[in-house]
A and B are shown apart, each in its own frame.
Chain A
Amino acid sequence: MASPQVDESFSALLKEEYKGRKLTDPINTVKDKWELLPAFLKVKGLVKQHLDSFNYFIETDLKKIVKANEYVFSDVKRDFYIRYRDIRVGRTSDQSPDCKGISEDPHKCRLRDMDYTAPIYADIEYVRGTKVIRNRNVPLGDMPIMLRSKSCVLDGLNSQEMAAREECPIDPGGYFIINGTERVILIQEQLSKNRIIVEADEKKGIVQASVTSSTHERKSKTYIICKNGKLYLKHNSIAEDMPIVVMLKAAGITSDLEILQLVCGNNPQYQDLFAINFEEAAKLQIYTQQQALLYVGKRVKTIRRAGSPRLTQLQEGIEAIATTIIAHLTVSNLNFREKALYMATMARRVLMTMHNPSMVDDRDYVGNKRLELAGQLMSLLFEDLFKKFNSDLKIAIDKGMQKKGVAVFDAVILMQSQIHQITLGLSRAITTGNWSLKRFKMERAGVTHVLSRLSYISALGMMTRISSQFEKSRKVSGPRALQPSQFGMLCTSDTPEGEACGLVKNLALMTHITTDDEEEPIKRLCLLLGCEDILSIDSATLYSDGNYGIFVNGTLVGTTRYPIKFVRDFRELRRTGRVSEFISIFTNTHQTAVHIATDGGRVCRPLIIIDDKTQQPRVEAWHLEKLLKGEWAFDDFLKHGLVEYLDVNEENDALIALYERDMEQEPEMRFTHLEIEPFTVLGAVAGLIPYPHHNQSPRNTYQCAMGKQAIGAIAYNQFRRIDTLLYFMVYPQQPMVKTKTIELIQYDKLPAGQNATVAVMSYSGYDIEDALVLNKSSIDRGFGRCQAVYKNTINLKKYTNNLDSLPGMRVDENNKPIFAHASIERDGLGEVGMRVVQGQVFANKHSYVGDPTGPAQPLNSEAYRETPAYYKGPEPAYIDQVLMTKDKRDETLVKVLLRQTRRPELGDKFSSRHGQKGVCGIIVQQEDLPFNDNGISPDIIMNPHGFPSRMTVGKMIELISGKAGVLNGSLEYGTCFGGSKLEEMSQILVDKGFSYSGKDMLYSGITGECLQAYIFFGPIYYQKLKHMVLDKMHARARGPRAVLTRQPTEGRSRDGGLRLGEMERDCVIAYGASQLLLERLMLSSDAFDVDVCNNCGLMGYSSWCNTCKSSEYVIKMTIPYAAKLLFQELLSMNIAPRLRLGDVF
């Protein structure tokens, strides 16, 4: 499988020395064995789930959809048809005149606000006149392309080629570019489809089994519920709950004995529980299938489309059983046996749960969940659009053919006028994130998000994010809690705080998400492996003792008496590669069932197989040697049956050893699998934390949120990007204490932080409440320095004879540019490198406001209005880049990028990698700071009160490891459940003449004397977070007011006032400071002088009461403008608020 082209991510392994070990060093210890596997798994890329899913959609699902909707017929001409024979998405490799691939590079699309798409081509066959015509490569609109998928131009490029396309080789891809913005389709978590789930409500005493049937056409849910001890079938399209016996009779099981056998087997307890149901059917006098079908048919809610023929009640009944109930089972030749069995199975599960309440299924169990990825969502969308396209096409064709006088009617021409619907539908769904599917009546919002490019980690974190369909507002703890089955599949630390806590999850490092696999061959394989076909089995023996049911994707397909052998044989086939490696098989002894799953969306992960006979891991040293030499790829490990993927359910059948030593210590345990690396329980973002296993767990969660806000390097093409807002760190450093995950995700190449020398001590009192003391000299030398770049977009519109223009700068009498135009050039745009301060123009746009179709006007005429782009920031900025191009509508697009370089200041936020954030409280001169024997003074002083309650021991160990690394000239590891050992680190410290504890004797910089305590002193990796004072500082004395209320505006962006809120007002009232109250709430806000007539109590003007037609009683007074407004609004509603004035004193 090894591709001839060496993958870049693999190169680290091929270097002479990898992780301190040479290639030629013998690989024998247990530790070495698996150290290389995760590194290798990376060859698939960090977002392999997204890419695999999208590739599956383009290569397989697309063709399936078209195959299922192959024909378009016409009602007018019976012999007319269009048939889609094939469909494909244009590849860059097959650039021919009639079949094009992607035209623009992704980066051009970002810059030019375009869509990154490839044309869809179909091969069709249709009738023109009397001839059948075959057309190849008929365009069918444009498909948005996921970056780095197989259809993307970046597929298979090495880093030089990527650089030539201005693309970052480390960027994981997996997102789309629509209108120049990068958008991700988040992974959606759902309850699994087409599976029986038994739930119980103990309070109401309800037990129910439900199944959500999902097919290409429809989605429906069927329930078997237990009411008053009786079982009923419930379905949305049936008006009443149907007694289960009636339903089974309708499905052709007319014998009561057979019903009993299919539901209860020969278990007397189940039989007793079920017996009551026969009475119900007997009461209804339903004995035959015909009677049952009539009963059902009478209660079916019929929604008939106009024109379709009316059905009899019997037919309705047949139709209901055949198509609507448990819709994912297809019925052929009116053979309802499979459906009957399915209903019986559901009923049996309800009985089992009634008998033993612990048999309920856990909805939160990860094995009962499916993850929906970009490919699946795109395929849902495409199928909907394609169906709509075809039905619209049919209507258009019917219309076209009814028209007389057209000699030969060509459907393809009609087709071309419709294809923009597919293009538009796809791109609109991705831009808005609204997935509305007509056929499922599905309306889902917020499916896509703009890819956050704050730092490399924030982008990566977004690609592994899983959003749940669960409502955020509901106060239930179950779905939010950490599930034991999450182990190794979903990150245990990375979840947001607050309302989405536990609902938004992240994938662990080695998680794979399956795509759909064919079910039929597996069913055939089951029969070959000794499974007895369910259709030929005797009902009496179905549930006899020792008989195990075999379920493929939740449907009973047969039974076996030898489940252990069956499962073993099946696994053997999978390990030899005869069956797809992602098909899972497991035994459920409680249900006496063997389940085989081939569906997509299951989460699974690779594990090393332990040989059953030898009880040794199958991966041996020489395998790894082959891997190192590049002779083997990860797939070879799968092919040779050394490693396999287990999904959550199959993990229950396995006994997984964490370490090889566990196997040695407990040889009687008979482990079946061996973990590749324990640190893969964490995801990419949590993997940045050094020694996370020493931290209090919420601290790791906090760091996961903060790691995404850290300023650092974004991508190798970061200076070529023009984004709305980007932050770069000027001198980012890789952390002194790394983790293996850091290397795997290449965070060391795009880091976000700096190794600061930290002294943990109290200093100056400006460090309370987590504030940090910063060293001024460190800042002078570039510590924490970052750049902020802002994009400003200027669109130049085109009219018939006029267009918006950019005249050059205006000059004063000395022929010098006026102040506002000091930084623009003759082309009316800012000059790169020039400084702009508040009020200066960086794009001198003049808009055409005249008649859009009018004749050409001169620039200085009234038809043009000055609409320049001003710089509004409080601090000056520099013009970084100016881009002038055409967007996809062929209008001129100008983007001006402004840059600010910022040094840390008071109030800027910093954080270590342990959820310990703090703001800069004071910046201290270097000579005032303490120093150690070597003359080293700290970059940051952190208050020791941050430690006791937070219990971030990992941070302390990071400091010691980092210090040892600095002294030793090595990078140390803080990998989860591993990493450099504290004892070894302490020994290095001692050897280098430092205290083993990491505490140094410091001298006060102010007095010069020794400090009386030893100070914990060493490097800790600090991140600068995006929250900076410069972006938030705000104050105003007076300023703009809202038009309606004349009160000060709200918010920093509008230069608003600072609100004295209700609670503050209460304080002032309680204190009794009435004059202050008056001043704050009226005088400083919306004081307004009114003329009040003391006679009628209404307001007049200019000392005149218009109601009394007199000025006699008019008094001037000041009231809030809002009050005046209220009075007038009341007047407009025919309510007269009258003021009665009296003297206060």
Chain B
Amino acid sequence: MEMRNEPKKYRYHPKPQIPPNMSDIVGIEYNRVTNTTSTDFPGHSSEENAWDLEEFKKNLQINISHLAGRSTNFDLINIDTSIANAFRRIMIAEVPSVAAETVYIYNNTSVIQDEVLAHRIGLIPLNVDPDTLQWIDPAADENERFNDANTYVMTLDVSCSKRDNVPEGTTDPKILYRNSSVYAKDLKFVPQGRQEQLFKNSPVAPCDPNILLAKLRPGQEISLRVHCILGIGSDHAKFSPVATASYRLMPVIDIKEPIVGELAKRFQKCFPSGVIEIDENGAAYVADARKDTVSREVLRHEEFEGKVKLGRKRSHFIFNVESTGAMSPLEIFLKSVRILKNKADYLRNCPIGQ
């Protein structure tokens, strides 16, 4: 796989890398979507279409247009829908991550109920590399299930009290009381066994420190212990490492007839800004189809009927991965690739398959 960091400028009529075939374009019509399924598999038509690794290697492209700590946007071009979708599904449901699973509540006199508080704690994304943990053995006895290799322990001990010397007439609870709000950052990591060494410098902590967990008033307190374990998103959404991971297909705008003058301006307005530009002759041309949201607004107007054809490129996936914070989005994607590979390996070595 080859990766380029600088975004590739996309022109509307790129040099086709596979034979120019309209079947690669999903048709966006006024009230339906046509040609949604790919047909380039063996046996569908007279063409061979057999999968060829070399061909695949040659054609596959990945362009990363945006990469940040929490999110990424990249294009995956010339890949089958099933593979792209597999990556998406695995990122959502099967890439493991760490989340609070068991909450032991010693004291909770706040207004928020134990179950709700535990649920809220469970949903906090933790900034910890999931590879540092082993899977828990659900068959093990409850007393021996957790150890320093498979569990992180965090504690939350807060109590609220009145502050002295508050100016008269203050109503803001943040000024009036100490710990009037309990945030995710109040969860404190308690290293167990070997973890003392491992996490000397970077203790386990929530990715977003300011998630509100509960509100307290003087005299109320919360004291609890949290066991965080490894899990996958299909078990519970809290284990999903992504806020969302999805793709969209590359929009295609095909101007069939020249659109000029006033009409061109109106045409331009049917798309988000930057998609359609008007050249010196007053004719509209597609500047950047990637920016289009495919609102199909243009299909509503009679004056453009027959002049434009909308479509989406079926083998061009624009991925968008938003991490919850524990892993970089890149890592999540690569993990999904690895998991898919393992699945393929498993299938290949499966005794039934042989």
Interface of A with B (CB < 8 Å)?
719, 730, 776-778, 780-782, 785, 787, 833, 878, 880, 899, 901, 925-927, 931, 933-936, 989-990, 993-996, 1001, 1003, 1005, 1007-1014
- Which 5 residue pairs across A and B have the least CB separation, nearest first? A1008-B85, A935-B246, A993-B293, A780-B237, A777-B237
> How many residue pairs between the two chains, A and B, have CB atoms under 8 Å in the bound complex?
110
Residues in A with CB closer than 8 Å to B295 are 989-990, 993-996
B249 close to A1010 (CB less than 8 A): yes
A833 close to B114 (CB less than 8 A): yes
Does B210 interact with chain A (Cβ within 8 Å)? no
Closest-by-CB residue of B relative to A926 is: B92
Binary per-residue interface labels of chain B (84-122) against chain A in the complex, 1 for a CB within 8 Å, 0 otherwise: 111011001100000000000100100101111001000
Does B45 interact with chain A (Cβ within 8 Å)? no
Residues in A with CB closer than 8 Å to B108 are 833
B236 close to A1009 (CB less than 8 A): no
A901 close to B116 (CB less than 8 A): yes
A1001 close to B113 (CB less than 8 A): no
Q: How many Å lie between the Cα of A1141 and that of B81 in the bound state?
A: 77
A934 close to B113 (CB less than 8 A): no
B312 close to A1010 (CB less than 8 A): yes
Residues in A with CB closer than 8 Å to B111 are 719
Does B272 interact with chain A (Cβ within 8 Å)? yes
Q: How many Å lie between the Cα of A935 and that of B88 in the bound state?
A: 10
Binary per-residue interface labels of chain B (297-339) against chain A in the complex, 1 for a CB within 8 Å, 0 otherwise: 1001000000000001000000010100000000000000000
A1008 close to B88 (CB less than 8 A): yes
Closest-by-CB residue of A relative to B81 is: A1008
A777 close to B36 (CB less than 8 A): no
Range, interface on chain B: 35 or more
Residues in A with CB closer than 8 Å to B192 are none
Closest-by-CB residue of A relative to B82 is: A1008
A1013 close to B32 (CB less than 8 A): yes
What distance in Å separates the Cβ of B169 from its nearest Cβ neighbour in chain A?
Answer: 13
Q: How many Å lie between the Cα of A780 and that of B300 in the bound state?
A: 40
Residues in B with CB closer than 8 Å to A787 are 113, 115-116
Known: A780-B237, A927-B92. A1001 touches B82 (CB 8 A): no
Residues in B with CB closer than 8 Å to A777 are 233, 237, 240
Residues in B with CB closer than 8 Å to A785 are 119
Known: A927-B92, A927-B93. A1012 touches B32 (CB 8 A): yes
A934 close to B246 (CB less than 8 A): yes
Known: A719-B111, A901-B115. A1001 touches B294 (CB 8 A): yes
Q: How many Å lie between the Cα of A1007 and that of B86 in the bound state?
A: 9
Q: How many Å lie between the Cα of A776 and that of B232 in the bound state?
A: 13
Q: How many Å lie between the Cα of A781 and that of B119 in the bound state?
A: 8
Residues in A with CB closer than 8 Å to B244 are 934-936
Q: How many Å lie between the Cα of A1011 and that of B37 in the bound state?
A: 10
Q: How many Å lie between the Cα of A207 and that of B312 in the bound state?
A: 79
Residues in A with CB closer than 8 Å to B114 are 833, 878
A1007 close to B249 (CB less than 8 A): no
Q: How many Å lie between the Cα of A781 and that of B233 in the bound state?
A: 12
A782 close to B119 (CB less than 8 A): yes
Q: How many Å lie between the Cα of A719 and that of B108 in the bound state?
A: 15
Residues in B with CB closer than 8 Å to A1014 are 31-33, 296
Q: How many Å lie between the Cα of A878 and that of B296 in the bound state?
A: 53
Q: How many Å lie between the Cα of A297 and that of B234 in the bound state?
A: 92
Does B248 interact with chain A (Cβ within 8 Å)? yes
Q: How many Å lie between the Cα of A1008 and that of B108 in the bound state?
A: 45
Interface core residue of B81, B108, B238 (most chain A CB under 10 Å): B81
What distance in Å separates the Cβ of A786 from its nearest Cβ neighbour in chain B?
Answer: 11
B32 close to A1009 (CB less than 8 A): no
Q: How many Å lie between the Cα of A535 and that of B255 in the bound state?
A: 94
What distance in Å separates the Cβ of A739 from its nearest Cβ neighbour in chain B?
Answer: 29
Closest-by-CB residue of B relative to A1009 is: B36
Closest-by-CB residue of B relative to A989 is: B295
B33 close to A1012 (CB less than 8 A): yes
Q: How many Å lie between the Cα of A778 and that of B297 in the bound state?
A: 31
Q: How many Å lie between the Cα of A935 and that of B246 in the bound state?
A: 5
B296 close to A901 (CB less than 8 A): no
Residues in B with CB closer than 8 Å to A780 are 236-238
Residues in B with CB closer than 8 Å to A1010 are 26, 33, 36, 249, 312
Residues in B with CB closer than 8 Å to A730 are 116, 119
Q: How many Å lie between the Cα of A989 and that of B245 in the bound state?
A: 23
Residues in B with CB closer than 8 Å to A934 are 244, 246, 320
Residues in A with CB closer than 8 Å to B86 are 1008
Known: A781-B123, A833-B105, A878-B114. A996 touches B300 (CB 8 A): yes
Interface core residue of A833, A1010, A1014 (most chain B CB under 10 Å): A1010
Residues in B with CB closer than 8 Å to A927 are 88-89, 92-93, 233-234
What distance in Å separates the Cβ of B65 from its nearest Cβ neighbour in chain A?
Answer: 16
What distance in Å separates the Cβ of B44 from its nearest Cβ neighbour in chain A?
Answer: 15
What distance in Å separates the Cβ of B253 from its nearest Cβ neighbour in chain A?
Answer: 14
Q: How many Å lie between the Cα of A632 and that of B111 in the bound state?
A: 40
Known: A1001-B33, A1014-B31. A880 touches B113 (CB 8 A): yes
A995 close to B297 (CB less than 8 A): yes
14 contacting pairs across A/B (C-beta < 8 A): A777-B240, A878-B115, A934-B244, A934-B320, A989-B295, A994-B295, A995-B296, A1003-B85, A1008-B82, A1009-B37, A1010-B33, A1010-B249, A1012-B32, A1014-B33
Known: A776-B237, A780-B237, A996-B300. A931 touches B246 (CB 8 A): yes
What distance in Å separates the Cβ of A144 from its nearest Cβ neighbour in chain B?
Answer: 32
Residues in B with CB closer than 8 Å to A993 are 272, 293, 295
Residues in A with CB closer than 8 Å to B26 are 1010
B113 close to A1007 (CB less than 8 A): no
Q: How many Å lie between the Cα of A926 and that of B235 in the bound state?
A: 11
B84 close to A1012 (CB less than 8 A): no
Identify 9 new A-B residue pairs, CB closer than 8 A, beyond the known A925-B93, A1011-B33.
Answer: A719-B111, A899-B113, A927-B233, A933-B248, A935-B322, A995-B295, A1008-B81, A1009-B38, A1011-B36
Residues in B with CB closer than 8 Å to A935 are 244-246, 320, 322
Partner of B28, one of A833, A899, A989, A1001: A1001
Residues in A with CB closer than 8 Å to B249 are 1010
Q: How many Å lie between the Cα of A172 and that of B153 in the bound state?
A: 47
Interface core residue of A776, A778, A780, A899 (most chain B CB under 10 Å): A780
Q: How many Å lie between the Cα of A726 and that of B323 in the bound state?
A: 39
Closest-by-CB residue of A relative to B34 is: A1012
Q: How many Å lie between the Cα of A903 and that of B60 in the bound state?
A: 44
Residues in A with CB closer than 8 Å to B115 are 787, 878, 901
Partner of A901, one of B82, B92, B113: B113
Binary per-residue interface labels of chain B (212-240) against chain A in the complex, 1 for a CB within 8 Å, 0 otherwise: 00000000000000000000011011101
Residues in B with CB closer than 8 Å to A782 are 119, 123
What distance in Å separates the Cβ of A681 from its nearest Cβ neighbour in chain B?
Answer: 36
Partner of A1007, one of B82, B233, B234, B320: B82
Q: How many Å lie between the Cα of A123 and that of B318 in the bound state?
A: 87
Residues in A with CB closer than 8 Å to B37 are 1009
What distance in Å separates the Cβ of B94 from its nearest Cβ neighbour in chain A?
Answer: 9
What distance in Å separates the Cβ of B82 from its nearest Cβ neighbour in chain A?
Answer: 6
What distance in Å separates the Cβ of B200 from its nearest Cβ neighbour in chain A?
Answer: 34
Closest-by-CB residue of A relative to B269 is: A990
Interface core residue of A719, A833, A880, A1013 (most chain B CB under 10 Å): A833
Closest-by-CB residue of B relative to A935 is: B246
B84 close to A1008 (CB less than 8 A): yes
What distance in Å separates the Cβ of B336 from its nearest Cβ neighbour in chain A?
Answer: 11
What distance in Å separates the Cβ of A750 from its nearest Cβ neighbour in chain B?
Answer: 16
What distance in Å separates the Cβ of B123 from its nearest Cβ neighbour in chain A?
Answer: 6
Q: How many Å lie between the Cα of A901 and that of B119 in the bound state?
A: 11
What distance in Å separates the Cβ of B339 from its nearest Cβ neighbour in chain A?
Answer: 13
A1009 close to B237 (CB less than 8 A): no
Known: A927-B93, A1008-B82, A1008-B85. A933 touches B293 (CB 8 A): yes
Known: A719-B111, A996-B300, A1008-B85. A1013 touches B33 (CB 8 A): yes
Residues in A with CB closer than 8 Å to B246 are 931, 934-935, 1003
What distance in Å separates the Cβ of A777 from its nearest Cβ neighbour in chain B?
Answer: 4
